[in-house]
Amino acid sequence: MLPRGTGAPGCSRRGLRSHFTQERPHSRWRASCRCASCALPLLPKLRSCAHPANKTRTVHANLLYDAANKGEENPNRHYANNKIKTTKYTVLSFLPKNLFEQFHRFANVYFVFIALLNFVPVVNAFQPELALAPVVFILSVTAIKDLWEDYRRHRSDKEINHMDCLVFSRAERRYVEKYWKEVRVGDFIRLRCNEILPADVLLLSSSDPDRLCHIETATLDGETNLKQRQVVRSFFDLDCEFDPLKYNSIIECEKPNNDLNRFRGYIIHRSGRRDALYKENLLLRGCTIRNTEEAVGIVIYAGHETKAMLNNNGPRYKRSKLERQMNVDVFWCVVILLVLCLFAAIGHGLWMFQYGDKRPVFDVLSPEGTDLSPIMSAIYLFLTMIIVFQVLIPISLFVSIEIVKICQVYFIHQDMDLYDEETDSHLQCRALNITEDLGQMQYIFSDKTGTLTENKMVFRRCTVAGVEYSHDANAKRLAMYQEMDSEEEECTSHGGTLPRRDSVTSHQSARVVLRSQSTKSHRRTGSRAEAKRAISSAVLLFSCCRLFTDKTCSVPQEKDITPDPKLLDKVNDCSSQMDFMRFHSQPMSQLPSDLSDTIDFFIALTICNTVVVSSPNQPRHKNFLSLRNVSQKYSSSSSLITNRSSNKGCSSLLSSPSAESTLTKLHEERSCGGLENAFSPVPPSYDGKASWNIEEGELRYEAESPDEAALVYAARAYKCSLVGRLPDQVTVELPHLGKLSFELLHTLGFDSTRKRMSVVVRHPLTDQITVYTKGADSVIMDLIKPPNTGKRQKKIVCRTQNYLNLYAADGLRTLCIAKKILSQEEYACWLQRHLEAETAIQGREQLLFESALRLETNLQLLGATGIEDRLQDGVPETIASLRKAGLQIWVLTGDKQETAVNIAYACKLLDPEEEILTLNADSQDLLNLFAPFDLHPSSSLSSSSSHAAPFLVHRLGLVIDGRTLAYALDKSLEDKFLAVARSCRSVLCCRSTPLQKSMVVKLVRNKLKVMTLAIGDGANDVSMIQVADVGVGISGQEGMQAVMASDFALPRFRYLQKLLLVHGHWCYSRLANMILYFFYKNAMFVALIFWFQFYCGFSGSAMIDQWYLIFFNLMFSAFPQLITGTLDKDVSAETLQHLPQLYVNGQNSEEYKPYMFWMNMIDAFYQSLMCFFIPYFAYADSDMDLFTWGTPITTLALFTILLHLGIETKTWTWMNWLSIAFSIALFFTVALCYNASCPTCYSPSNPYWTMQRLLQDPLFYLLCIITPVAALLPRYFYRACQGTLFPSPVQVGRQLDKLPADTRRNILSLTRVKVGSPLSPKPPFLSLSKASPKGCNKNDQRSISGSKTLEATQGQADEEEDRSCLSGPTDSEMHLSDLYTLVPSEIDTLPYTKDAPQPAGELQPPSTEVSECLDKTLEPSDVSLSSWITSTPLLTPADSVQLNLLPDGAPQCVRYSRNSEDRLKPDHAVHPAHRTEQEVEQLLHTKL
C-alpha cells in the first residue's frame, strides 16, 4: 500500500475521462451538484419533523404499506422522495429572490440607492426613470444569466427525474418501469448491468453467485476502478431469487450525511436478529452497475438526501489579489467622489451666498416655491452631485471584469498546449474569478508523488530475507526503453513536417498519422521551433500509441518486469520443493527459512492488497463471469480444505466471508479435535493451469494505488500471479504448485495513520493463519519482533535496513513486507474483540483501528521492495523555467527524506552544486539549529557600509523532515524558520502530513504576504490546495479529490509553465490594464462635468445630455475595452515562455501599482481639462447653447478615451479596429437618431437636431482633431520616452516579438536580452565579475528583503566561526547596493537543452558586445524592500551541510559533514564556458 495519506485513492487514468465528461456544463451531475447547498437548509426541517428525537433513520419496505390508503401510516413518508430539484427559483420566486441575491453585492445597492435618490425632487439630477436605466440594465443582465443557468438546471433535473428504473410493484407483483422521481425510500428496485443508480440503495440481492455487485464510482470521485459491494449479510444465503414480498425487516441507519465512505446501521429481522450494515452494502446514487447482471436493493436515501447530492458544494468564491487592490482604489474613488461633491457643495453655498437676498432670475426657487438658504441648498446639492458624479464609481467595471474573466477562462480552456491528448483532457478552470492571480504567484508548493512524478510505479529492486536482488536486467531494459523513446523522437524530428494536430480525431488515427509521418518525405524546414514542436507532438503521439499497444493505460514498464535470474531460480526452487513436500505430505515447516521467506514474500506481494483482477478484452460484465468460472473451479478444492468439517457447505460453494461464521468454524474445528493435514488431497487442477496460459496476457489488475499494481505485476513476473480475488478468497497461481486459494479472513485496509495494510489469510498449504503486512519501512521496522529471537532475524533486519537506505538514496519508494503467524488461540482471541469492534455503532472506526494495532505486532520481516516513480515529462525544465520566473518552489511530500531528496535532484529542484541544509531535530532545540542563521541577515542589515558582513550562504537548499517541521511550525520558531527557508533557493519538506502541508502554506502566505500556489494530485494535498491563494490539482492517478478542491486542474505538471508564465501573465496584465483604464475613463468623464460646475454656479448642472452621460460607459465606450481586456497580448506566448523573467512583472504587480492609479487619475484630470477647456475657449462668448456645446465635449471625450485605449493597446487585431470603429459609429448613430427622434421629449436637453447641426459646423471637426491630440500628447510622449529610455522588461520582450522569427529564436535561446536602460549608470556590483579572491564560480545575487523576520541579534559572535564555514570572508569585495533589485537568475542559460541541443560554440560569450547586451535592468520591484544583498559562495560547489541535532544536546549542535563528492555527478559539472557566461549574465543591474 501507499505510504502516503491517501484517503481513498483511485487509480486509473480513465477516471479523468469520465470526470471530464461529468464536468461538461450540461452534464447532469454537475448541474445537480450546484444547488445541493440550497437544498441543504431545507433538510433539517424535513428530518426534524420526521423523527423529532431520533438520531437514526428507520426504513421499512414500502410494500407493507402499499395496500393502505396512499401510505398514510407509511413510516417512510417523511423522507425526501427521489425527485430532485436543483433550481434556485420558481416562476414566482425568481424576481424577488434573484433581486435579493443581487443586492447582496454592495455595488448594486449603492447604484440603486443613487437611482432612488433621483426620485427626490430637491436633489434630482436626471430624469428619475432614466437614472434607473443603468442599474436596471446591469441587474437584468445578471438576472438573465441566472435565469438561463437555472433553466439549464431545470432541464437537466427534468431529464434526470424522468429516467427509468425498475421498481417493484405490489399490485403487479413484478418490477415495473418507473421514473426516477417516483422512487421513494423503502422501494425495492432492480438494477441491471450498466444502469445508473437512482438513489442510495442497500444491496439485498445480486445475481452474482458471490453476492457481489460491482460499481463504478466515477461520477462521485472520479475513480473508475470497479468497487465491490456486498449483499447484506443476512440475505447472503438466499439460494433463490430475492422476493420483495417476503421482506419484512426494518433498517436502522444514520441520518443522511455527506460522507461517501461511511454508512452505518443495522437491519432488524423479524426474528429479532440484527445485522450490521457497512458502506460495502450501500450503492450510492450516481454510480454505475458493472459486471453484475442484476441486483436488487431497497432505497435508503433518495433525492436530495442521497450522499451524492449532499456531497456537492457550490463553486468556490475567491477574491484575487488584483481585485483586492482594485477595491482599495474603488474606495479611493469614493473618497474622490465625496471630495468633489463636497467641493461643489461648498462652492454652491458660496455662490448662493454672494447674491445675498437679491435672488437672480436664473436662480429658480425650489419646486415648492420655497427659498432655500445657501446652507440647505449646499446640502441638497451635495446629494445631487453624488448622483451626477456616480459614474466615478464604475458600475460597469464589475460586470466588465466578470465578462473579461469568463473570456479569459474560455481562452485558457481552448489552449491546445494545455490539452493532454493522452487523457483527452483540458485544463479546467474551476474557479472563474482568480485567473489573474496566476500571473502574480511568488511561491509554489508542490506535492511530489503524482505531481512531479508520474505516479506510475515501476518495480525496480527488492530485498528478500536480507538478500538484495538488484534486477540489473530490469534496470537495463528500463534504460533501453528510455533510449528507444528518445531515438524515436529523434527520428520523427527529422521528418520535420508536423502532422496537423487537429486532424487527429482519435487515437487510432493518431497512430496512422505517426506512421505515415515517419515514412514521409524528409523535407527539412530548417526551423528549429517547428522541429521542436514536431518532437513534442511525436511524444504525444507516442504516448497515445503506448496507450493502445498496452492494454492497461500505463507505460509498458509498469507491467513488464524482467525478473532477476537469481531470485527467479530461488522462487522456482522453493516452489518445487514445496510441491515435492506437498506430495510427500511433509510439513511445510521443514522448508529452509530463506526459501519459505522468499515464497512468503511473493505471496504477500500478491495477496496483501486490494487489487481486482479483470481482463480487458471482454466487456466487463461478461468477463467477470468467465473469471468466476475459473475461480469456482478451484475454489471447490479450497473449500474442501477449509470447510471440510463444516456443515454449512450446502449453503454456498464458497466459504462464508463473515467473520462470525469463521469464528463458529474455528470452534467447530477445535471441537473436532485439531486440524487435519493441511494438504488438500485433491491435486490442483491442471486444466486451470492450461487456461491460465491462455489468459496470462489478458489478466489486468485494477488497483487503488499504482504501487499495488506494480507489486502485483512484479510478483507475476516471478510466476506468482494473482488470478482472482473474491471478498473472502484470493487465488494465487504459483509455479509448480498451481493455483492456491487463500481464505481471506480479514483485510485491514490502508490508512495514513498506520501507514500499512494487512491481510489475514489461512494459508492453504500450512493451514496456518497468517498475517501479511505491507507498509512504510519506518512503521514496519518498529513492529518487527524484537530480534533477540534469532540471530538470523537480526541480520535480516539489519541488512534490509541497509538496503532500504540504499533504495531511498536511489529515489525509490520503499515498502516493507512482513508476516506473522497466528496460533488458533491467538487468532480466536483477537477475532473476538475484532468482532466486537466491527459491530459497534459508536466509535467503530477507533475500535477497528485499535484492533488493527493489536494484530500488527511482532512481525517477521520478509523483505522490502523498491519501486521507482518516474518523473513526469518536462518537470525539470518546468521547474527551471518557473524558477527563472522568480518563483520559489517548495516541495512538500509525505515521502521519506532520502527518496524526496533524490527526486528533488532528479527534477533539478536541488542542484548538486548547492549546499543542502538538512534539518532533523528531535526536540525543540531546533532553535539552536536556526541560531547560526540568525546573524547573517542582521549583520548585513546593520552594516550600512559597503564592507558588508558575511552573507547568507548562497544557493542553499533546505531539507526538513516532518518531525522537525512540527517544531519549526511552532509559534516561537516560525519566524526563524521562515527566515532560514526564504533564504534558501529551494525547500523540501519530507514526511509531512497533509495538515503540515497546509500549515506551511498558510504560514508562508500569512507571514510573508506572498501569493502562494499549491499543486498536488492526491487527497493528502487537498488541505494545502484549499489554503493556498491558488490551488491547482493534477488530474492524475489518484482520483479526483485534489481536482475537486482545486481552482485549476491540470492534466500534467509541465502545463503549469504555460499556465503561469503565459496565461497568468496575460490575464494579469490584461485585467490590470483594464481596471486602470476603467478608473481613468470614469474619472476623466466625471471631471468634465466637474469643471463645468465652475461655470454653472456649482448648481449640479451638466452640459452633457443625460442620455450620453448614462450610456457613455454602458454602450459607447464599453466594447473596445472589453476586446482589449480579453485579447490584448503584451508579449507573445513564445517569448513569455522563453523569457520567464518577464513573469516578475506580475509578481511585483508592475502593471498596476498603487501610484499608477493616481497617475491615471492625474492624467484623467489633465485630459478632461483639455477636453473641457478647448471647447470652452473655442465657444467662449458665443451663442452656443448648453447642450449643443456639451455634445462636442462628449464626442471629444469619446475620441480621447478610445485613443487612450489605443495607446495602451499592445496588439491590434481586427477585433480591436472593429470595436473602436463600432463604438464611434454607435455613438454617432445613436446621437443622430436620438436627436432626430422627438422634438419635444428628453427634457431638459431637448437635443432636437443638435448633432445634425454640429456635423455641419467645421469648428466641430477642428475641435475633434485638436483636442484628443492635445489631451493624449503627454501620455504618448511619456510612453515613447519610456520605451526608449527605461523600457520595462515586458517591452523588451515585445521588441523581441517584432524581430524576424529566426533572429528572435537565436536571441531567446541565448537568453541574452538586453533589458536595460541606457540612462542607468553602471551597476556598482559590476566588480563582481572580477571574481573574488577565492575564485567563486558564479555569483548569484540573492535578494533578501530586510523585513521584521530578520532581526539583529547581538552576542552571537561565537557563532561567527561556524558561519564562516558556511559563507566565508570574501564578501568584503562586494558592494551592497540597496537600490537594486534582482531577479533570481538561473545558471542554466539554456532552459531547453533537451529539446534544442545547441552547439557548444553558441554557449560562449564571444564578444564584449554580447556581454554588454547581457545587462539586465529590471524595474525596482518594491521600494519597501530596503536592502538587497549579494552573496558569494565559498564552499566548493557540491558541499552539503548536514545539521543534525545530537540527541544528547551537546553544545556543538551543528555538525557539518562534507559528502559532496558522491553527490557531484559528472553531468552536473559546470562547463567552463558556461561559467564565464554566467558571470557575464549576472551583471544584472537596475535603475530606480
Partner 1 sequence: MMASSYNAKEEDGHPSGASGHGGPGVVKSKKPDNTAFKQQRLPAWQPILTAGTVLPAFFVIGLIFIPIGIGLFVTSNNIKEFEIDYTGVDMDSPCYTCAKNSSWNNTTPCTCSVDFTLEQPFESNVFMYYGLSNFYQNHRRYVKSRDDSQLNGGRSALMEPSKECEPYRKTDGVPIAPCGAIANSLFNDTLELFHIDSNGSRNAVPLVKKGIAWWTDKHVKFRNPGGNNNLTLAFQGDFSKPVNWRKPVYELDPSDPENNGFINEDFIVWMRTAALPTFRKLYRIIQKKSSTTPTLPSGKYTLDITYNYPVLSFDGRKRMILSTISWMGGKNPFLGIAYITVGSICFFLGVVLLIIHYKYDTRNNSADIPN
In the numeric block, which cell numbers belong to residue 1242?
428628453
Select 474 or 537, whichever has its Cβ closest to partner 1. 537
Q: Residue 277 class from Cβ within 10 Å (0-12 exposed, 13-18 middle, 19+ buried)?
A: buried
H helices within 1289-1386, ranges in order? Answer: 1289-1298, 1301-1310, 1360-1366
Select 159 or 483, whichever has its Cβ closest to partner 1. 159
On the CB side of 151, how many CA atoms lie within 13 Å of its CA?
7
Which residues define the annotated binding site for ATP?
447-449, 708, 750, 774, 813, 893-895, 991, 997, 1020-1021
Axis-axis angle for helices 321-355, 374-388 (nearest 10): 150
Residues, the chain = 1488
Residue 1445 three-state SS:
coil
Residue 208 three-state SS:
coil
What phi and psi, each to the nearest 5 degrees, are found at residue 174? -155, 175
Select 34 or 60, whichever has its Cβ closest to partner 1. 34
The nearest distance, CB 897 to partner 1, in angstroms, is: 38
What is the rounded distance in angstroms from the CA atom of residue 1196 to the CA atom of residue 1205? Answer: 14
The nearest distance, CB 17 to partner 1, in angstroms, is: 5
Select 403 or 675, whichever has its Cβ closest to partner 1. 403
What is the rounded distance in angstroms from the CA atom of residue 191 to the CA atom of residue 229? Answer: 13
- What is the DSSP secondary structure assignment for residue 1062, as one 8-state letter? I
* Strand ranges in 1088-1168 using DSSP code E only, listed in sequence order: none
- What is the DSSP secondary structure assignment for residue 859, as one 8-state letter? B
* Strand ranges in 541-631 using DSSP code E only, listed in sequence order: 612-614
Select 287 or 761, whichever has its Cβ closest to partner 1. 287
Select 727 or 1283, whichever has its Cβ closest to partner 1. 1283
The nearest distance, CB 633 to partner 1, in angstroms, is: 24
Select 663 or 1215, whichever has its Cβ closest to partner 1. 1215
Residue whose C-alpha is closest to residue 80's, from 111, 119, 40: 40
Residue whose C-alpha is closest to residue 317's, from 375, 389, 402, 394: 402
Select 466 or 1036, whichever has its Cβ closest to partner 1. 1036
Residue whose C-alpha is closest to residue 677's, from 725, 640, 632: 640
Q: Is residue 1029 flagged as an active site residue?
A: no
Bridge partners for 918 per DSSP: 959, 1442
Residue 1330 three-state SS:
helix
How far separated are the first and last CA of the chain, in Å rounded?
56
Sign of CA pseudo-dihedral 547, 550, 552, 555: negative
On the CB side of 676, how many CA atoms lie within 13 Å of its CA?
11
* Strand ranges in 307-393 using DSSP code E only, listed in sequence order: none
Select 71 or 616, whichever has its Cβ closest to partner 1. 616
* CA-to-CA separations, 146 to 99, 142, 143, 319, 430, in angstroms, rounded: 11, 6, 5, 21, 18
What is the rounded distance in angstroms from the CA atom of residue 1248 to the CA atom of residue 1233? Answer: 10
Which residues define the annotated binding site for Mg(2+)?
447, 449, 1017, 1021
Instruction: Return the residue matching grid coordinates 538561473.
Output: 1386
249: left (phi over 0), alpha (psi -120 to 50) or beta: beta
Q: How many CB atoms lie within 10 A of CB 1369?
A: 12
What is the rounded distance in angstroms from the CA atom of residue 273 to the CA atom of residue 232? Answer: 13
Select 396 or 1482, whichever has its Cβ closest to partner 1. 1482
* CA-to-CA separations, 114 to 334, 384, 394, 395, 710, in angstroms, rounded: 13, 9, 13, 11, 67
Q: What is the DSSP string of 233-274?
A: GGGTT--S---GGG---EEEEEPP-S-TT---EEEE-TTS-E
Q: How many CB atoms lie within 10 A of CB 1278?
A: 13
Which residues define the annotated binding site?
447-449, 708, 750, 774, 813, 893-895, 991, 997, 1017, 1020-1021
Select 129 or 1412, whichever has its Cβ closest to partner 1. 1412
What is the rounded distance in angstroms from the CA atom of residue 688 to the CA atom of residue 634? Answer: 8
H helices within 1256-1398, ranges in order? Answer: 1258-1285, 1289-1298, 1301-1310, 1360-1366
User: Catalytic one among 210, 447, 579, 869?
Assistant: 447
Residue whose C-alpha is closest to residue 902's, from 808, 965, 986: 808
What is the rounded distance in angstroms from the CA atom of residue 776 to the CA atom of residue 769? Answer: 23
Q: Residue 989: what residue type?
A: C
* CA gyration radius, the chain: 37
Select 610 or 1411, whichever has its Cβ closest to partner 1. 1411
The nearest distance, CB 159 to partner 1, in angstroms, is: 6
What is the rounded distance in angstroms from the CA atom of residue 774 to the CA atom of residue 752? Answer: 13
- Which residues are identified as catalytic? 447
